[in-house]
Amino acid sequence: MKRPTIADIARRAGVSKGAVSYALNGQPGVSEATRQRIVAIAQEIGFNPNSAARALSGASARAVGLTLCRPARILSIEPFFMGLISGFEAELAARSYALTLQVVATPEQEIEVYRRWWGERRIDGVIVTDLREDDQRIPVLHQLQLPAVVIGGPGDTGRIAQVWSDDAGAITETVRYLVALGHRRIARVGGLPDLLHTQTRTRAFNDICTALGLNEAVTMPSDYTGEEGGRATRRLLIGADRPTAVIYDNDVMAVAGLAVAQEMGLAVPGDLSIVAWDDSPLCSLVHPPLTALSRDIAEYGAHAARELLAAIDGKPVGNVEAGTAHLTPRGSTAPPRA
């Protein structure tokens, strides 16, 4: 995985390495048009002249990057990412690698962070989360030749390896479990709709509900926060044919949904059964404790870190399916009242 150099810029611009040096350092010797062309090429391939000495030395940054396109307030209460990061750290620390984390507002900002980190030699590779359909980050990572591993999928990531879990299988198991308890009106409060794993879950939910004849099944989109999860729950429960069971795409929204149900005078699980995706201590601390889809999130993160370190070392890596989340029944699910 070759880092961009002055020679790369010179070759693409059709000029000498000296001309590139003049242009990037603001020295005379090249025309303004040539200077602008060279600067544009340097930005495109992620070259930063302030890090040229490090590039020449061939030194490793001994760090990997993680950029999260999520509001920072979500991360402060999101057990999933805390578990994932603990898994990263367990593997990285064993190899004396650091984790560089940055929160951004848009995918475009995320791409700019990748260009800057790689050009400034701050990282040796990146872990990518929240894969999207036709994800604009993937071709940029290929162009930069930046070692990367994607958590999530499966999706079209070219030669970039993915570590993913069978979300479709997990949602299918959950719906079948609720139907076996006697539920016929099942709803789901989903995560961010543009994320590939959210779309996978939504399709699987619709498919299994159709196959089982659950014509009133509905998915309410949300953003993983307790506030939005609570609002979505209220919209579901004030309807004439309110659901008797709700599946939430994360534990934070499920806890908020439990609070809303109790606020409205509904008994859980007598009037409403609740299932949370990704088990966490939150699910066991509330009353009743929440039935949840459980998986080893720290190991999920550790697996991704191992794959990335292998890619940084130039070893062949490929897509890996991690363990499917399994249902852990607790006090929040039961047969619906007649």
CATH of the domain at 37: 1.10.260.40
Indicate whether 333 belongs to any domain: no
pLDDT values of the chain reduced to their tens digit, one per residue, 338 residues: 467 788 889 898 899 888 888 788 766 778 888 888 888 888 888 776 654 444 444 567 889 999 998 776 666 677 888 889 999 999 999 988 999 999 998 889 999 999 989 888 889 999 999 999 889 999 999 999 899 999 987 888 888 999 999 999 999 999 999 999 999 999 999 999 999 999 999 999 999 999 999 988 899 999 888 999 999 999 999 988 899 999 999 999 999 999 999 999 999 999 999 999 989 999 999 999 999 999 999 999 999 999 999 999 988 888 888 878 999 999 999 999 87
Q: Is residue 234 part of a domain?
A: yes
Reduce the DSSP state of residue 169 to 3 states and report it. helix
* 178 and 287, same domain (yes or no): yes
Instruction: Note whether residue 241 is domain-resident.
Output: yes
Domain assignment present for residue 278? The answer is: yes
Asked, for residue 336, whether it belongs to a domain, the answer is no
Residues 31 and 88 in one domain: no
Same domain, 150 and 214: no
The answer on 150 and 76 residing in a single domain is yes
180: containing domain:
167-294
pLDDT value of residue 49: 60
In a domain, 332, yes or no: no
The verdict on pTM exceeding 0.85 is no
> Can you give the pLDDT at residue 212?
96
Q: How far apart are CA 126 and CA 335, in angstroms?
A: 45
Q: Do the beta carbons of residue 276 and residue 290 sit within 8 Å? A: yes
Do 109 and 218 reside in the same domain of the chain? no
In a shared domain, residues 175 and 242: yes
Does any domain span residue 338?
no
Beta bridge partners of 195: 132
Residue 113 within any structural domain of the chain? yes
Helix, strand, or coil here: 140? helix
Radius of gyration for the chain, computed over Cα atoms and rounded to the nearest angstrom: 24
Task: Show the tokens assigned to 243.
Answer: 């659901």
CATH number at residue 149: 3.40.50.2300
171 shares its domain with 161 = no
- Return d(Cα 155, Cα 133) in angstroms, integer: 7
Picking from 176, 173, 152, 179, the residue whose alpha carbon sits closest to that of residue 164 is 152
Residue 74 and residue 21 in one domain: no
User: How many separate domains does the chain show?
Assistant: 3
Taking alpha carbons only, the member of 169, 176, 253, 252 closest to residue 217 is: 176
Are 154 and 187 members of one domain? no
Euclidean distance between CA atoms 243 and 247, whole angstroms: 10
Same domain, yes or no, for 314 and 249? no
* Residues 120, 96 share a domain: yes
Same domain, 180 and 286: yes
